[in-house]
Amino acid sequence: MYRHSFGARRAIHGLWAPLLVCMSLSPVQADECPDWTPTQADQALEALQTQVSEWDDAYYRRGERLVEDSVYDQARSRLTAWQTCFDVPATPLARSSSEETIVHPVAQTGLAKLDEPQALANWVERRLQDGLWVQPKVDGVAVTLVYEDGRLTAAISRGDGHRGQDWLSHAERIVTIPQQLPADSPPRVILQGELYHRRPGHIQAEHGSDGARSAIIGLMARHELDAVSANDIGLFVWDWPSGPKPMQARLTALESWGFADSARLTRPVTGMDDVTRWRQHWYRGQLPFATDGVVIRQNTRPEPVDWQPEPPYWAVAWKHPAQRSLAMVRDIDFRIGRTGTITPVLQLHPTRLDDRTIRRVSLGSLDQWQEWDVRPGDQIMIRLAGLTIPQLAEVLIRAEPRPELDAPDSDRYHPLSCLRLTTGCEAQFLARLAWLSDNEGLDMAGIGEGTWQRLIDAGLIEGLLDWQALTPTQLEALPGVGEARATQWHASFQASRHRSLTRWLKALGMPPVDERILINADGYLDLSELRSRNRHDWRQHPGIGTTTAERLVAFFAEPEIVSLLSRLVRPTTLQ
């Protein structure tokens, strides 16, 4: 197996660095820094900063989301961690300043994201006595609404949390935003919520966000909002900062004012199990909007005057399982299989995808790797194929300079290569032995790849059938192999002698065919007759095409195969 690495990793030192990195990275990535030269660090930081800035510019200035939130969050977290590692000043988040802004009457706080279940469970446990509630985390844009004497007088985009754009003219055309509250409402009401693109019957697990946030950003960025577009916008109120202290009292009032979804979709929870259940329910069930997780809130919170435009201690987000994830390539293994197929496998620094930790991604073939041109140090986006298998989706940032790789020569490996253990054949030869002893081959009980590796390491095997001559004494002499195991291995070796010829042919790598076509006209399986068949003879049988026929001819003509079979069998009837 060929392997290529890009840098070990070193620990982050200092008082604040571990705290900053642990807040932004999962435990599998925390506490580590790339072991780079100053030049490598500068190049990697510049490349990642350029990519994040491009995403920021598209999102904040043009209203376009070029990448999923989970990938963006990972990229910005990684950038922050690397800046800490190499003592580079943090880069401020880009914000649009093309329009005049107005002050929020109560700061928009934002939310911290806890993606690790244990960290979230600890957060929940510490706050259970105060009472906890869970809501869908609507995938839209935050807004502040101000009502004075019951009338809507202001609608403000989130902006930087202190100031935002004036959206009142748009809000006055959105039918889901009440223009007038009931007469018994307080003289001044400040609501915070999310404007979203209406999607009745949306199932997040099936449809994903599907551009929902980009759609609402685009609508709210228009100079004028027409009535048809306004009807596509919904509102979910997730807080009433100046409302009653108990959550239930706030929800009751909101429902009476026409914000029914706020009451229906804000649910009390008594522990982590409840939070998990609602997260799954909203992820796989129907909602009128796209979501990207859930929000857990305390029953009570501080007075509005104390709110700041930063993640509060009384609320936290738990994102849905990431469908795409940012990963950094650590190594590339080129695995050579039994038939000579070369499979490049990307070894990754651990990353989370669909609530799982992913450490490797297969590229399938050498041609695919050459097409992608992935190298150690590259930052890639991965996704799930068929809901279970991680696959490469995109190479986002390429390491510079490009690391040199010594990939195996595809011309050297084929279905009949490495029938003996020679230099460069270690992987394919071991794969042949593992196949030979597997239940598809000779079905040797207790014999697997680890067994064969021990025998190879001890210098006892160089050919596919050398194990037949091994004695219990030789096996017992191997490190860690006692009398009982040596006896069991030897018994498995001896039992294999009684397998049928068809099993032996399959174990030695004969292309798969219907066993009935191996029988000659007299009802026997005769090796001499099989070796005499040409491509035309093989193609007379159903299911045998040109490629299979050529492989069968080559298999029975291969001198090493002929030699191996001559040690095993005589003409015999098919078992």
Active site residues: 137
Q: Which residue has the tokens 């100053």?
A: 38
Distance CA 189, CA 181 (A): 9
d(CA 61, CA 352): 30
Distance CA(506)–CA(443), nearest Å, equals 11
CB of 333 closer than 8 Å to CB of 344: yes
CB 219 within 8 A of CB 143: no
Tokens of residue 262, six digits: 């706020």
Residue 429 structure tokens: 């030869």
Q: Which amino acid is at 229?
A: S
- Give every CB contact of residue 491 below 8 A, 6+ residues apart in sequence: none
Q: Report CA 361 to chain centroid distance, whole Å.
A: 9
Question: What are 541-546's contacts with CB under 8 Å, separation 24+?
Answer: 541/513, 541/514, 541/517, 542/514, 542/517, 543/513, 543/514, 544/513, 544/517
Please tell me the distance from the alpha carbon of residue 509 to that of residue 361, in angstroms, as a whole number.
Answer: 27
- C-alpha–C-alpha distance, residues 395 and 494, integer Å: 51
* Sign of the CA dihedral with 217 first, then 218, 221, and 224 last: negative
H or E segment to which residue 101 belongs: strand 101-103
> Alpha-carbon distance 491 to 497, whole Å?
10
Q: Is 250 in contact with 100 (CB distance < 8 Å)? A: no
Q: How far is it, in rounded angstroms, from Cα 118 to Cα 318?
A: 12
The single residue listed with the structure tokens 């979501």 is 291
3-state secondary structure of 225: coil
Return the amino acid letter for 54.
E
Task: Find the distance separating the first CA and the last CA of the chain, reported in whole Å.
Answer: 37
**8-state DSSP, 551:** H
Gap between the Cα atoms of 332 and 19, Å rounded: 31
Q: What angle do CA 411, 415, 421 make, to 5 degrees?
A: 85
Q: Considering all CA atoms of the chain, what is the largest pairwise distance in Å, rounded to the nearest integer?
A: 102
Cβ partners under 8 Å of residue 429, min gap 6 = 418, 419, 420, 421, 456, 464
